[in-house]
Structure 1
């Protein structure tokens, strides 16, 4: 049987940690802004950098699956009051031998420049895989593509602090290999397709 490749996992995780550091750089400023948010007045037509944090609840699809939650952070830039693009990183603990670390681009379009506004979003990228069940013997595993389109509603609470609610459809792919009878290698391709509901906040430094 092939041995489990720890070096491959370490390489993947090293890249993820580096990206996480990049995404969290504005966090110290974000905390200070959050403390001052209640004193500020809503801004009109905001542009510039923002930090986004959120949680998506990925609903169960039936027998054999459980509802799980994805947490994520996005470091983005609002090019116009309506359009923004960001880079995100998160964690999805599926009830399976693998958990996933999504690294993605976030595209967002607001229908109104200011005030309460509906919006559309698309998150697309790649899931890094992490083994979370040590009792399950694997020869190898890898992540796969992710796609998460949806709609939402954004509520500006101040010139620098917004809350939002969203709903969408999440597709996460990954796979793993294990040895079966007769030294036969079996590949199991996973595709998690879940309806999602979520909430979070955006802070503009």
Structure 2
């Protein structure tokens, strides 16, 4: 008799073990059926990865939170963490001779907070008559957490003029010691997180910079002419964000 009991127990144990990992249909006491893969079978509990039914009725009192399904490796706009943002920008404007365009590059490194605000520091290279190195404080705001999300941005800092102290001119003189000025940049854009931890960004904004140049002429050594030029440019930017 004991041999029969042992054999029956072993049979059911092997049958249950064979079911683990395979798709099964389970009939409940109320007659409803659940189709899925048995993940584990322990004393009193059966853990099932549900495949069917596609509609499940749940008691609201037992629900803690409802949120959209997302890939756990997918980064959204408001997910917190460090970021690197590299952009290539086209600066468009006008001067006395017509439309002018120039290319600039910007690299920002900072931290994204869950409230949508990110803070960082930026460094770039631009050309406004003389090469300019902007060193700036960067702030960005995402009003919503999505894979494709709009944002507002602003940058403020100082643009340092980058040129030799003296440069020969064609009209018997030379330019010396150009200076930059405080800079300002703001605009709107869209980030598209098309990869798990990276995004493409596009933006449209406004850029302000002032450059001061000093000209001294051989025929009038005591005279130095100061020329201040203010630049107001429309900025088109395309970049990449890495988290």
Q: TM-score, normalised by structure 1?
A: 0.73
Find runs of 4+ consecutive structure 1 residues off by over 4 angstroms: none
Aligned match of 1:117 in 149, 171, 183? 149
1:56 and 2:93 correspond: no
SS in 1 for 2:100: coil
1:202 and 2:241 correspond: yes
RMSD, aligned α-carbons? 2.1
Please state which structure has a larger fraction of its residues in strand: 2
CA contact (8 A) 1:49 1:75 kept: yes
1:99 and 2:99 correspond: no
* Cα separation, 1, equivalents of 2:93 and 2:168: 24
1:160 and 2:194 correspond: no
For structure 1, which runs of at least 5 residues remain unmatched after alignment?
1-39
CA contact (8 A) 1:41 1:158 kept: no
For structure 2, which runs of at least 5 residues remain unmatched after alignment?
1-71
* Cα separation, 1, equivalents of 2:237 and 2:116: 21
- The aligned length equals 164
Aligned to 1:43: 75
Query: Structure 1 pair 145/68, CA: closer, same or farther in 2 (3 Å)?
Result: same
Q: TM-score, normalised by structure 2?
A: 0.62
* Cα separation, 2, equivalents of 1:146 and 1:116: 29
CA contact (8 A) 1:124 1:147 kept: yes
* Cα separation, 2, equivalents of 1:158 and 1:68: 30
- Higher RCO, 1 or 2 (CA under 8 Å, sep at least 6)? 1
How far residue 99 of structure 1 moved from its aligned partner, in angstroms, is: 1.2
How far residue 62 of structure 1 moved from its aligned partner, in angstroms, is: 4.4
CA contact (8 A) 1:57 1:197 kept: yes
